Amino acid sequence: MYARLMIVWIGLLATGGIGYGQELIKPPEVEKPAPDFKVTPVGGDRKEPITLADFKGQTLILEFWATWCGPCHQAREELTLLHKEFADRGLRILAVSMEQPEVVEKFIQKHPVPYQVAVDPLRAISLKYPCGGIPTSYIIDSKGLVRAFGNTPPRNYIAQLLSQRTDPPRATVTTQPVKRHERPCLKIEISQTSRRPKFPGNFGWSVGGRELGFQADQATLQAIISELLKVSMLRVQASDSAVFDSRWDIDFRHHPQNGRPDLALLIDALCREANVTINEVSEEREAWVARHKGDAPPKGEGYGYVWDQVKKSGTHLNVSMAELFRVSEEVIGVPIVDETNLTGRYRLELPAAKNFEETRAALETKYGISFTKERRKVPVYRVTPIGETRRAE
């Protein structure tokens, strides 16, 4: 038996997926040659990268998904059925996740699929095949042309596309493959889990119009609060470390009839369910203070996810200073006070964040962002148990 907050509904929820946020680049044109790509295979004997050329003369469903995405599980079942029925007629499926290989490898060991799975942690493929949300499918025909993109394609469309017709049918094309709520709704589902993976948890956000969604999978209370408040876990503290021992699954969606969605509804519900309070206080600490001089860094493009990228060397395609400093804080264990006045999203080329001295030097020499050590008051968030923290029985 586990602690659980059940679903609360106002209105009806339309079937949909998980969104990454706004699209910042245009998708490839339908009935035009599909852009080439290179991704890393997972869960098989193949070691060399997978490219579009590997599917020459075949019809390809290029599926974008994630292990933490609930709607992707249903799409996985539909793709498995399509593979079983049409693989011998030339249909190929490539499911690409933007997560780290070890995360996806572990997932598909528990949930095997008959088609090829791959990863692209740096999300280079997203610059050529943008997704307004996941799951999203791109259909590429045997001639290498993009035929459609959107939700998982229906069986009858694939059957017609694989037929001997000289003029394959068109599918309805949408530039927003994620279906949004059509009526006001509120969904809050919080459950404590006994699963304890090594990582702090997986998170997903859906943002669009007046709709806001958040999902957490097997996440620690500290990691969830950190994600919801958009601060590093360094700034989320507990008077009793046992408060952070519990793991939680969360599914939250809010589409108000008027006004903007309110994340405070989820934070309040989480505090009630975990039996804690969260209070912001100021503490004087030694901190790195970041300042900027000169021109702004190059404008970012693509998606703004930096967790996997910033902990390894590489190009950060679309990162804000807040995201960069948040991850860096957790790596170096020292607060960073942002006084750069850089409020946009930027394309940065940096060394691994675990070597902060190299990162700091690169930010100063390439982008005019300097750091000094100073005593500053920084906000921290105290998590205090009310009575006994709930635990899984």
Q: Write out the two tokens for 200.
A: 């702090």
**Run of H or E residues at 61:** strand 59-65
State the Cα torsion 152-155-156-160 to the nearest 10°.
90
Q: Write out the two tokens for 365.
A: 């020499």
Rounded CA-CA distance 72/206 in Å is 14
Nearest alpha-carbon partner for 11 in 181, 152, 136: 181
Nearest alpha-carbon partner for 230 in 324, 148, 98: 324
Q: What is the pLDDT of residue 196?
A: 72
Q: What is the pLDDT of residue 290?
A: 96
Q: Is the dihedral of CA 67, 70, 72, 78 positive or negative?
A: positive
**Per-residue pLDDT of the chain in tens (393 residues, 90 and over written 9):** 334 443 333 332 333 333 333 334 567 777 889 999 999 999 877 889 999 999 999 999 999 998 887 778 878 888 999 999 999 999 999 999 988 888 899 999 988 999 999 998 887 888 788 776 678 888 998 899 988 877 677 777 788 788 744 444 443 333 333 333 345 678 888 888 887 767 777 777 776 667 788 888 888 999 999 999 999 999 999 977 788 888 998 988 887 777 778 888 899 889 888 888 999 999 999 999 999 999 999 887 654 444 344 444 455 657 889 888 988 898 889 999 999 999 988 888 877 656 778 888 989 999 999 999 999 999 999 998 886 444 433
Q: What is the pLDDT of residue 186?
A: 81
Query: Is there a cis peptide before residue 135, judged by omega within 30 degrees of 0?
Result: yes
State the Cα torsion 231-73-139-103 to the nearest 10°.
50
Rounded CA-CA distance 234/225 in Å is 11
DSSP-derived secondary structure letter, 69? -
**Phi-psi bin for 24: left (phi > 0), alpha (psi -120 to 50), beta?**
alpha
Termini Cα distance of the chain: 6
Chain Cα centroid distance, residue 87: 30
User: Can you tell me whether residue 367 is helix, strand or coil?
Assistant: helix
Rounded CA-CA distance 304/123 in Å is 10
Q: What is the pLDDT of residue 136?
A: 82
Q: Write out the two tokens for 81.
A: 């059925």
Residues sharing a CB contact under 8 Å with residue 82, sequence separation 6 or more, in sequence order = 61, 91, 93, 153, 155, 158
Rounded CA-CA distance 359/363 in Å is 6
In order of start, what are the domains of the chain with their CATH numbers?
1-14+179-275 (no CATH), 17-161 (3.40.30.10)
Rounded CA-CA distance 218/233 in Å is 16
Q: What is the pLDDT of residue 46?
A: 82
Nearest alpha-carbon partner for 5 in 184, 193, 183, 262: 193
